Amino acid sequence: MSGTRKGEFMKFGKVLIAAAMLGVFSAMPAFAENIEMVKLDVSPSGDEDIQPGQSYGRQEPKPLDASYKVASYGTENVKENSSTVGGTQQKSGKKNQKNQNLKTPFTYTIELTPTEGNSFSDNVVAEVKGSYEVSIESKAPDKLKIKAKAYPFYVLKNVSGIEQSGKSYKWSKVDNAASYDVVIYYASKDGDEKTAKKNVTTPKISVSSYQNGGKEVDHISVRAKHGGDKQGHYVANSQYVESDGSTDANFDDTIRFDLVTARSNGAAVSSDGTSANSSAAGPASGDGWKKVGEDWSYLKGNQKQTGWINPEGDDWYLLDQNGKMLTGWNQIDGKWYYLDTDATQKLGRMLSGWRNIGGSWYYLNPERGSSLPFGAMYADTQTPDGYHVNANGVWQ
């Protein structure tokens, strides 16, 4: 299906990559074993120890199945003298490429061939982890050529120079940061230790409301945060840092990329570079997903499915009694779930973890096998990472 998949987490040392997806579908030809889908990975390698302030450029495409292999690949429109040809990187995806333009996307051209006993389907689908747009340029039973667009991966630098001045704090601006998450540690008038979490768009914050009425601020910690646009999937937030430059021990310092995975719609791309068919975000029009008007349904055996489904074995969707895919807040068996409303992401997918929805923070259970159903909203309780949410699920 199309859209963007977020929330499939894979941990590699200090790197935690959240996978997501975007694109549209297709299917197959006729040889021994028809390959209906090819999956590639152009995200940073898990054996690298990515640190704040470091960037990764172009990664070698890695096939995720043994039924096909990368015959050759190249990139273009990255930076002068930084193209790759024939699978040999001139400037590989190493750390600290300080001269690369982080805001300039680049395009992979990748040729794949099937391994012995396999062939590509007429309607083969291409899926590339770490790419925000994928198209099939040409296809034959023995060769597949795809294009995939991506940005360089980058980790925001840690905040530095935190200073207090009266009832406010300031710190040094972090390049490419869209905003800053600030945790204020303070004591209530009764002497109880409290925390408050704020988000600001400038490198300063007033803490006056936490220094009145007998309250007293102890210190703050700050992290730089990426934006929510398309490029934001390639930028990881920094770590939470305290005034002395140390990382805040109350937070996991693992670096996370909210990684996108794009899919083609299986249509060949014409010579002028335009796609023969639209690849708008949302569930795919093939392989079960059908769109009528503005509504999506999932068909299996020509029958509309209802209830919870996970057609790809990972993301969950909720279909009503008529088979219509639901979005937004929905209450099931007394529990609230949130289904993505963003058509530029993976529309209808059940979200989990901390989510800012309508300007408020909610915690949607990311753990399977716990007493609370997977994806259900925490309410009137404390979250596993120590924050209190009220009866409406809002973090305060």
DSSP-derived secondary structure letter, 372: S
Whether 133 maps to a domain, the answer reads yes
Q: Do 294 and 382 have their domain in common?
A: yes
Query: Which residues pair with residue 106 across a beta bridge?
Result: 150
Q: Do 168 and 55 have their domain in common?
A: no
User: What own/partner pairs with CB < 8 Å and gap ≥ 24 does 363-369 have?
Assistant: 363/387, 363/389, 363/393, 363/395, 364/337, 364/338, 366/7
Q: Please count the other Cβ atoms lying within 10 Å of the Cβ belonging to residue 170.
A: 14
Confidence class for position 47, pLDDT limits 50, 70, 90: low
DSSP-derived secondary structure letter, 45: P
Q: Is the pLDDT of residue 310 over 90?
A: no
How high is the pLDDT of residue 5?
A: 38
Q: Is the pLDDT of residue 146 over 60?
A: yes
- The count of structural domains within the chain is 3
Distance CA 387, CA 378 (A): 11
Whether 392 maps to a domain, the answer reads no
Distance CA 51, CA 55 (A): 9
Q: Do 146 and 163 have their domain in common?
A: no
Picking from 123, 152, 181, the residue at the C-terminal end of a domain is 152
Give the domain CATH number at 224: 2.60.40
Q: Do 46 and 123 have their domain in common?
A: yes
Whether 4 maps to a domain, the answer reads no
Among 71-75, 237-241, 244-248, 310-314, the minimum mean pLDDT is found in: 310-314
Whether 337 maps to a domain, the answer reads yes
**What is the chain's mean pLDDT, rounded?**
78
Per-residue model confidence as pLDDT tens digits over 268-281: 322 222 222 223 33
Whether 170 maps to a domain, the answer reads yes
Look up tokens 């390959």; give the residue. 35
How high is the pLDDT of residue 268?
A: 30
Confidence class for position 72, pLDDT limits 50, 70, 90: very high
Output the 3-class SS for 285-340: CCCCEEEECCEEEEEECCEECCEEECCCCCCCEEECCCCCECCEEEEECCEEEEEC
Percent of the chain whose predicted confidence (pLDDT) is above 70: 76
C-alpha atoms less than 13 angstroms from C-alpha of 332 in its C-beta half-sphere: 21
Distance CA 162, CA 245 (A): 8
- Amino acid identity, residue 213? G
Q: Which domain holds residue 208?
A: 154-240
Burial of 102 (0-12, 13-18, 19+ CB in 10 A): middle
